[in-house]
């Protein structure tokens, strides 16, 4: 069979959405269990949070989580908007809009993390 | 050539083939149909592409029409049929006694046959009653009762014909004894209007008599309903017919994921008054199971009736005694000009009915335009909508 | 047979009406009466102006698709008594332009559907143990899809975006991929591997629920995605 | 005169709320609508969550005041709703991903109810955890 076709973004995005969703189940699972149960009594006080984030693995893990969750959320919102049948220009606006918002959210999260670590 | 306009009353198989034929001859055509196209008798038959073998003994005129048209349809509507052929199966000694007469009839009518032993028949159709004595293979097939006429409509439309479903004829417009058009009601808007015509063709099937009466003429049409039963599942790939004189429940037509068992036959006055008698449904199951025993426990999908527009004087009792051939009436013979009726016939012979009718129409219009529908390959049915 | 009087609440609209409305008709039904039978009775005895599509009366042509009590069905195989309601609401299909009463315009459906180029005849998968008769090339049967449009009316995504290729056509494309019969599956796959194609579906599976002919359009869409996903992953690892 | 005007049909209208019309629909439609509602809810929560965390940047006092508020029993139902949303969206998401590549398509309803059973168990466990920890 001839498989020279390049395929479409639509399919790639759908697969990425499914994969990021599965990844989130892992990341969110650990995020919640660690934040609420493993740390004794859960992350509560300011000091708790700062000491928690002093572990570099935790920082990398939380930032990864933030990136994946933002990506998944952005694609989800895009899909809802695309289902409304926007015209070509509107689609471009949506694509850029969610990209910018997603990057802002991630940038803000990273900035915040380093603010706290000091 | 003058721009003649013909109005066809009735959007069934006959109207479809006639619209196609006339459009090919360069005539402007408008088809008016009370409901959706093919919603009368046309859509409701079992979907048999007739080899003609069923009529080879008793109704040879119709049998010859069937085999000729069968061969033409294969050429002009490729891809529309399940071409698995058909079997006439002898189950009883009595059936077997019919064999010689049947083979002779088929030979006379030019219907190709191949006689199969019991074992050969069972290898082709393992679900047959193991009692089967022998079988005769004939070129039957399955058609889609709606999509074949749609191909005629589609091609007609692309050649300029106008098809108007949901447009009911209220009356015929007449000047003296000449029909000059139709007065219709568009049920999609509720508005009534006139359509002028050089000739009006009545192709209303079992409703043809009602239309003819509007012009003050009579056509001998006998609406003869029959019950059909569709069951889930394909029990056979070939059309299975009982090798005997036509009777109730003597055919099982496979179609899509269904098997259609037909038919019964009686006569009514009003083709809109179609009952589905419970005992006829039972009879279809019973008779069908004589050919394919598994039919007895098949799950029913639908049971319905269709009214055949048979030609015959009033007084017929079952409709079985009436011929399946068709007839074109030029009502000038009764003193009414501009009005032609085509009736009788079968789904398989619609093209021939159209050819005969269109020949009458062009003769009346005084133009020389030969029929081309034997060669022109029809557009796909989807082209009716696009 | 037991008889019962059922109230039919029927959607009415004629071209030029400012708004549609509902008319009610009382119809005596028995255990065999279908919704289509009832509509024909209404048209014959009570209101000759009622428009609806119908042809074969046995779920083979696909013209009598409508919504009965809010669900897409073929009226010809919908038994009135089995609905179990004393009032039966009959409405036209959604997501298609309305022509009048219960009639919708199917041309949009066919414009998309015909692009799948699915031949009407397929190889029969039934009775594989049976031999093929002399002179017959292979066992043939008409395709299962009735082109009734029930799936398009029921699909939540077609509802929000009319440009979505939709379940019927995607299912037809999958049939051509399975059994090309001279058509070009690669071109079709390229067509449906798109934003408006198989990736738009959200797997509500409503199409498969309402399909009267075992086409399983939802399954077909998922199978198309599976095929395209396998190819994408294959390409990722350099397998052409 | 032949009347040749085409039927003046209405344009096929867009129904932006079609996905929410789940009355008389089957389980797949309900699952999809709920999945989308839960997803939208989680997006809102994500925004809220990021906003709340910004309090951390304002120093210990502001944060600890907020934590005191968050610990109040009034917040507990909201936590449970959040957990339910996450569990539903996540577990139903597994189903959508699986059938999306052709796995278990015919069994999608059984798959749905199995996953919902797991979601219910986890929700109960989680609720118990919220109350006791």
CATH of the domain at C187: 1.10.1060.10
Q: Which of C32, C63, C121 sits opposite B276 (nearest CB)?
A: C32
Number of domains in chain A: 1
CA C56, CA B47: separation in Å to the nearest integer? 9
The residue with tokens 């109810």 is D113
Low-confidence ranges of chain C (pLDDT < 50): none
SS3 B239: strand
Q: Report the alpha-carbon angle D125-D130-D132, nearest 5.
A: 90
Interface test with B, best of C17, C29, C55 (most B CBs within 10 A): C55
- pLDDT category at D7 given cuts 50, 70, 90 is very low
Closest-CA distance of chain D to residue A63, Å: 12
Q: Could you give phi then psi for residue B201, rounded to 5 degrees?
A: -110, 125
Residue A69 belongs to what domain range? Answer: 14-117
Cα dist from D58 to A48, D51, D54, D61, whole Å: 15, 12, 7, 8
**Record: contact A84-C193, CB cut-off 8 A:** no
Q: Average model confidence (pLDDT) for chain B?
A: 95
The closest alpha carbon to B211, from B348, B307, B64, B331, belongs to B331
Which range has the top average pLDDT, A2-11, A107-116, B67-76, B271-280?
B67-76
**Pick from C89, C104, C119: which residue ends a domain?**
C104
Q: CA–CA distance from C126 to each of B233, B255, B256, B258 (Å)?
A: 9, 12, 10, 11
Residues 100-139 on C with a CB inside 8 Å of D are 105, 108
Q: Which of the two residues, B353 and D72, has the higher pLDDT score?
A: B353
CATH architecture type of domain B5-42+147-220+323-384: 3-Layer(bba) Sandwich (3.50)
| Residue where a domain stops, chosen among C87, C104, C121 | C104
**What stretch of H or E contains B299?**
none
Rounded Cα distance, B70 and B58, in Å: 19
Please check the confidence at residue B172 and state whether its pLDDT lies above 50: yes
**Domain boundary residue, one of C104, C133, C157:** C104
The residue with tokens 């050649």 is: B159
pLDDT at position D133 is 63
CATH code of the domain containing C16: 3.10.20.30
Over its C-alpha atoms, chain A yields an Rg (Å, rounded) of 18
Q: Is residue A7 part of a domain?
A: no
> Is a pLDDT exceeding 90 seen at residue A62?
no
Same domain, C130 and C203: yes
| Residues C147 and C52 reside in one and the same domain | no
Residue D9 banded pLDDT, cuts 50, 70, 90? very low
* D10: pLDDT strictly greater than 70: no
- Chain A hits for C240, Cβ within 8 Å: 3-4
Give the least confident one: B175-189, B284-298, D24-38, D42-56. D42-56
Interface contact flag, D2 B188, Cβ < 8 Å: no
Same domain for C8 and C119:
no
Q: Is residue A5 part of a domain?
A: no
Please give the angle made by the CA atoms of B280, B208 and B142, to the nearest 5 degrees: 50
Contact C56 B137 (CB under 8 A): no
Average the pLDDT over each of B158-172, B352-366, C92-106, C222-236 and give the range with the smallest value.
Answer: C222-236
Give A-chain residues touching D46 at CB under 8 angstroms.
69-70, 73, 105
Contact residues, chain C, for A11 at CB < 8 Å = 193, 199, 225, 228-229, 232
User: Which range is least confidently modeled, A40-44, B71-75, B303-307?
Assistant: A40-44
CA distance D99 to D110: 12
B–D CB contacts, 8 A cutoff, strictly below: 11
Amino acid B314: pLDDT: 60
The domain that holds A52 is classified in CATH as 1.20.1300.10
Q: Which of A46-60, B117-131, B210-224, C19-33 has the lowest mean pLDDT?
A: A46-60
Contacts of B44 in chain C (CB under 8 A): 55-57
Cα–Cα distance, C60 to B211 (Å, whole number): 29
Closest CA to B320 of B241, B226, B240, B242: B226
Task: Please report residues of D whose CB lies closer than 8 A to that of A22.
Answer: 93-94, 97
Report if residue A34 sits inside a domain: yes
What mean pLDDT do residues B243-257 have?
A: 93
The residues with which B138 forms a beta bridge, in sequence order, are B86
The share of chain B scoring above pLDDT 70, in percent, equals 98
**B346 near D CB under 8 A:** no
Beta carbons of B32 and B7 less than 8 angstroms apart: yes
**Residues paired with C123 in a beta bridge:** C140
The token duo for A4 is: 């020279």
How much is the pLDDT for D71? 77
Q: Which of D23, D28, D100 sits opposite C70 (nearest CB)?
A: D23
Beta carbons of C144 and B257 less than 8 Å apart: yes
pLDDT higher than 70, residue B135: yes
Average pLDDT in chain A: 85
Q: What is the mean pLDDT of residues A91-118?
A: 91
* pLDDT for the residue numbered A36: 72
Domains within chain D, CATH numbers bracketed: 26-132 (1.20.1300.10)
- Locate all alpha helices (DSSP H) within B267-326, ordered by sequence: 278-291
pLDDT at A1 over 90: no
Mutate to test the interface with C, among B10, B12, B34, B35 (most CBs of C within 10 A): B35
Q: In this predicted structure, what is the pLDDT of residue B324?
A: 82
Residue of chain A with shortest Cα separation from C192:
A8
- Condensed to tens digits (0 to 9), the pLDDT of residues B266-278 reads 888 889 988 899 9
* Domain carrying residue C38: 3-104
CA distance D87 to chain A (A): 9
Count of A-D CB contacts under 8 Å: 71
Residues C45 and C97 in one domain: yes
Instruction: Find the CB nearest A41 among D46, D54, D133.
Output: D133
pLDDT of D5 strictly over 50:
no
Q: What is the DSSP letter of B54?
A: G
H helices within C86-183, ranges in order? 107-113, 150-154, 156-160, 167-178
Quick check: D96 and C99 CB within 8 A? Answer: no
What value does the mean pLDDT take over residues A25-50?
77
Across the interface, whether the CB atoms of D3 and B196 are under 8 A apart is answered no
Helix (DSSP H) and strand (DSSP E) numbers for chain D: 4, 0
- Tell me, what's the pLDDT at A2? 37
For residue A9, tell me if it sits in a domain.
Answer: no
- Give the pLDDT of residue A115: 83
- Residue D76's pLDDT is 86
Nearest to A11 among C160, C163, C193 (CB): C193
Tokens of B93: 């000694």
User: Is A104 in the C-facing interface, judged by CB distances under 8 Å?
Assistant: no
Q: Calculate how close chain B gets to D105, using CA atoms only, in Å.
A: 22
CA distance B230 to chain C (A): 7
Which residues of D fall within a CB distance of 8 Å from C202?
A: 19, 32, 35-36, 96
Residues of chain D positioned with their CB less than 8 A from the CB of A115 = 56-57
Tell me: do C100 and C14 sit in the same domain: yes
Whether residue A3 contacts residue C236, with contact meaning beta carbons closer than 8 Å, is answered with no
Residues of B in Cβ contact (< 8 Å) with D2? 5, 28, 30, 162, 195-196
* Superfamily name with CATH number, domain B83-141+222-311: D-Amino Acid Oxidase, subunit A, domain 2 (3.30.9.10)
Query: Are C84 and C133 in a shared domain?
Result: no
pLDDT level of residue D3 (50, 70, 90 thresholds): very low
**Measured distance CA(B261)–CA(D114) in Å, rounded:** 43
- Name residues whose C-beta falls within 8 Å of residue B305's C-beta, 6 or more positions apart in sequence: B44, B225, B226, B227, B228, B274, B275, B276
Residues C46 and C142 in one domain: no
Q: Do C156 and D19 touch (CB under 8 A)?
A: yes
The count of structural domains within chain C is: 2
- Chains interfacing with C (3 or more CB pairs < 8 Å): A, B, D
């Amino acid at each position: 069979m001839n498989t020279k076709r390049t395929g479409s973004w639509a399919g790639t995005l759908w697969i990425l959405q499914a994969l990021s969703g599965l990844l989130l189940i892992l990341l969110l699972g650990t995020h919640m269990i660690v934040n609420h149960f493993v740390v004794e009594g859960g992350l509560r006080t300011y000091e708790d949070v700062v000491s928690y984030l002093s572990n570099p693995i935790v920082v990398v893990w939380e930032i990864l989580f933030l990136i994946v969750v933002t990506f998944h959320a952005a694609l989800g919102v895009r899909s809802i908007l695309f289902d409304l049948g926007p015209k070509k220009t509107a689609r471009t606006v949506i694509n850029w809009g969610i990209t910018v918002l997603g990057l802002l959210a991630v940038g803000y999260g990273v900035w915040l993390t380093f603010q706290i670590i000091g | 050539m003058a721009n003649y306009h013909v109005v066809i009353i009735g959007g069934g198989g006959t109207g479809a083939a006639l619209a196609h034929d006339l459009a090919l001859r360069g005539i402007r055509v408008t088809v008016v149909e009370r409901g959706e196209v093919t919603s009368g008798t046309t859509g409701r038959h079992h979907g048999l592409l007739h080899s003609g073998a069923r009529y080879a003994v008793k109704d040879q005129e119709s049998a010859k029409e069937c085999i000729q048209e069968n061969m033409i349809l294969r050429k002009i509507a490729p891809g529309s049929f399940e071409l698995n052929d058909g079997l006439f199966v002898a189950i009883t000694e009595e059936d077997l006694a019919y064999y010689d007469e049947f083979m002779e009839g088929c030979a006379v009518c030019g219907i190709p046959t191949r006689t199969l032993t019991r074992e050969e028949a069972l290898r082709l159709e393992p679900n047959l009653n193991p009692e089967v004595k022998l079988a005769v293979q004939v070129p039957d097939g399955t058609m889609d009762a709606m999509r074949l006429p749609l191909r005629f409509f589609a091609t007609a439309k692309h050649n300029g014909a106008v098809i108007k479903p949901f447009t009911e004829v209220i009356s015929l417009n007449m000047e003296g004894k000449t029909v000059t058009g139709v007065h219709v009601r568009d049920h999609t808007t509720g508005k009534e209007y006139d359509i002028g015509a050089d000739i009006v063709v009545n192709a209303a099937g079992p409703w043809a008599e009602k239309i003819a009466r509007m012009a003050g003429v009579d056509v001998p049409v006998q609406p003869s309903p029959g019950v059909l039963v569709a069951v889930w599942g394909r029990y056979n790939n070939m059309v299975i017919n009982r090798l005997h004189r036509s009777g109730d429940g003597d055919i099982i037509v496979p179609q899509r994921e269904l098997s259609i068992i037909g038919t019964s036959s009686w006569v009514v006055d009003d083709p809109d008054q179609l009952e589905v008698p419970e005992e006829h449904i039972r009879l279809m199951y019973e008779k069908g199971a004589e050919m394919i025993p598994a039919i007895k426990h098949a799950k029913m999908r639908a049971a319905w009736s269709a009214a055949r527009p048979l030609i015959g004087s009033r007084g017929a009792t079952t409709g079985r005694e009436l011929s399946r051939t068709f007839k074109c009436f030029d009502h000038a013979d009764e003193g009414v000009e501009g009005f032609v009726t085509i009736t009788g016939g079968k789904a398989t012979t619609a093209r021939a009915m159209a050819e005969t009718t269109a020949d009458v129409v062009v003769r009346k219009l005084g133009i020389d335009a030969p029929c081309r529908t034997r060669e022109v390959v029809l557009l796909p049915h989807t082209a009716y909508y696009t | 047979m037991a008889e019962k009087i059922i109230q039919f609440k029927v959607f009415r609209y004629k071209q030029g009406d400012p708004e549609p409305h509902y008319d009610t008709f009382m119809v005596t039904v028995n255990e065999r009466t279908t919704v289509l039978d009832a509509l024909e009775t209404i048209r014959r005895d009570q209101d000759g102006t009622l428009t609806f599509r119908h042809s074969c009366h046995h779920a083979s042509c696909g013209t009598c698709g409508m919504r009965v009590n809010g669900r897409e069905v073929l009226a010809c195989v919908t038994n009135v008594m089995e609905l179990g309601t004393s009032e039966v609401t009959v409405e036209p299909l959604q997501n298609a332009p309305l022509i009048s009463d219960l009639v919708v315009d199917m041309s949009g459906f066919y414009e998309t559907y015909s692009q799948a180029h699915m031949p009407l005849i397929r190889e029969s998968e039934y009775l594989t143990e049976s031999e093929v008769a002399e002179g017959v090339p292979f066992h043939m049967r008409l395709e299962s899809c009735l082109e009734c449009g029930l799936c398009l009316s029921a699909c939540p995504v077609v509802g929000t975006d009319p440009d979505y290729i939709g379940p019927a056509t995607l299912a037809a494309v999958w049939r051509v991929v399975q059994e090309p019969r001279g058509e070009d599956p690669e071109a079709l796959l390229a067509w449906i591997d798109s934003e408006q194609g198989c990736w738009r579906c959200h797997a509500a599976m409503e199409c498969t629920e309402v399909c009267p002919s075992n086409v399983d359009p939802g399954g077909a869409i998922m199978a198309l995605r599976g095929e395209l996903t396998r190819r994408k992953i294959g390409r990722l690892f350099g397998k052409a | 005169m032949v009347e040749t005007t085409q039927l003046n049909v209405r344009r096929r209208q867009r129904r932006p709320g079609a996905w929410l019309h789940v009355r008389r629909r089957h389980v797949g439609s309900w699952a999809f609508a709920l999945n989308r509602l839960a997803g939208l809810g989680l997006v809102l929560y994500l925004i809220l969550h990021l906003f709340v965390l910004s309090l951390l940047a304002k120093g210990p006092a502001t944060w600890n005041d907020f934590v005191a508020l968050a610990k109040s029993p009034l917040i507990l139902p909201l936590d449970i709703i959040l957990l339910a949303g996450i569990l539903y969206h996540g577990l139903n998401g597994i189903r959508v991903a699986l059938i999306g590549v052709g796995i278990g398509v015919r069994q999608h309803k059984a798959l749905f109810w199995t996953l919902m059973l797991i979601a219910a168990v986890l929700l109960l466990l989680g609720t118990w955890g919220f109350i006791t920890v």
